[in-house]
Structure 1
Amino acid sequence: MNIYRLISVNELSVTPKYLQVADSILKGVEQGHLLRGDALPSINDLSFELDLAKDTVEKAYKHLKQSGIVGSVHGKGYFITGDAPTGKTRVFLLFNKLSAHKKIVYDAFAAALGGDALIDFYIYNNDYALFKRLLMDRKKDGYSHFVIIPHFQEGGEGATSLLNDIPKHQLILLDKLAPGITGVFGAVYERFREDIYQALTEALEPLSKYRTIKIIFPDYTYHPRDILEGFINFCRDYAFQNEVVSDLHAEKVQEGTAYISLMEDDLVVLVEKILDAGLTLGEAVGVISYNDTPLKRIILNGITTMSTDFHRMGTEAARLIKEGSTEHIALPFRLTLRKSL
């Protein structure tokens, strides 16, 4: 077989190109297309044929040498020296977006899974069409597991059938339980409605100095409406005036209001509006931000957050894979009170 046909590099993948090259060669060994003693193209030839930097190819070969799959002889080049490990864990990891807290999930997941696992990492930017394309293109690539975060801005109705086509023992959903998924599969998820209600209840004392609570929830968002329902239920039960702000740019920030910001970009706009109005954060106006990140511990003496444990989300997903488990693990929000409230 032409070895160049075995090696694929997907520009849409977040996985480094050198790992994609290495994984393609390893897959060729696993499937019997490459055998012990077979020669590999030179670094120059592979770089030219795949339009890759020489450093990328060299790094891929070095990675395979460290794994014991590839060897080299000075003046003769690279060749297959070992058999592929049996039962290799190959993960198709599909996130809706890249962000500070999603990086925490990925880092914890990769670390807990260990260096022997192969992870192909893709981002679909909350776009259902791209989600479908990536999943349809990769479903038959010999993955042992599909770990997927299912969040869409629109058009995600067809995701249910796509996810149901995946063998359930290979499927792990992260962050959100998609409706209509049948069978027994693994999940590490948030209960958005119940968790925001509980987090706001824990913040009741500092919230009591504000007359009104407003949540910034654009009409065009991937966030589950369960968040909105939990917010409205809390305000009703504890008699807070409340409002849903769909256009933050048109919002006039007023004293006596606490804001809940779901998006990082909205948090920046909101804080700028508060400072421009000359209002004191944490006294005249309160702010709660969704999803904790290290930066929020520092800026403006600390931003109050309600957030799930993203490190645990990654480690639990890895544990489900390693143990072959189909547990459903709900991770509650944690309220972290800081000066902004």
Structure 2
Amino acid sequence: MAPLLQSSQPWVEKYRPRQVKDVAHQDEVVRVLTHTLETANCPHMLFYGPPGTGKTTTALAIAHQLFGPELYKSRVLELNASDDRGINVVRTKIKNFAAVAVGSARQSGYPCPPYKIIILDEADSMTEDAQNALRRTMETYSKVTRFFFICNYISRIIEPLVSRCAKFRFKPLTEEIMSSRVMYICKEEGLDLDSEALSTLSSISQGDLRRAITYLQVIPAEVVEALFSACRSGNFDLADIEVKNVIAEGYPVSHMLSQLYDVIVEADDISDEQKARICKKFAVADKCLADGAEEYLQLLDVASNIMRAIHNMPQQFSFGN
């Protein structure tokens, strides 16, 4: 499905919408935010919903449309709250950035309102103490700083923060919307994707457009399907499937196993007991890969275990670290 040549830029970034109006399938959110951009008077905002639905893209688009490329770096602070989630980060990095007043510099063609923006991605991973510290920071520096919170679960954000923000819910993307976007990328990249592969890609992505685009670039779907078919038939030869060549080109086995896992879970001709045995092996392989195991051997191990589980063959050997 994808050529065995690494792109110089991830397709997720290459095809990320640059303006709010281009965000897919979030009509109500886009309509309200478009009006907000016209006035350039943004409140604190909270974007929540499933992953891969456009939350981070929307926040970045707003910041770029307000300040333009020249002022963006000095006016916008991006933090991933799952990494920078402690109270010390709030007291130092966030507070120091929020406290500094903006200058009078402007960029032609952009509103350049007199405030800065702090984007906190995965804000639901922040500790409760850090969130409580943020509440006071928001109140103190609201004249010169706006906060954009991005999360999957709004229930994990404390109520004092939620009440201070305009809330925007991002809906899961429909298969039709995802297929349309994937086909557009295929056209731009010169890929030939048949309807069956497109349907499989949409299914395993489960409404996450970011995941679908990543899979589209990272690993040829026909290799995963061929690998699973070989395990199911019992006529197993990785040389024919060219998996080793795919790995040699730099495609991570973790992505391949993730896709293979989704295919197996959705398979109707495998019993729950067989799926349980296979999924246990996936967990072991994932741990081995995290510990630095050889990728090709781990893929062989998983494939052989799938074949044994499907055909009720006895356990004979296993590749370890």
TM-score (norm 2): 0.27
Structure with greater proportional strand content: 1
TM-score (norm 1): 0.26
Query: Which structure's relative contact order is higher, taking Cα pairs within 8 Å and 6+ residues apart?
Result: 2
Structure with greater proportional helix content: 2
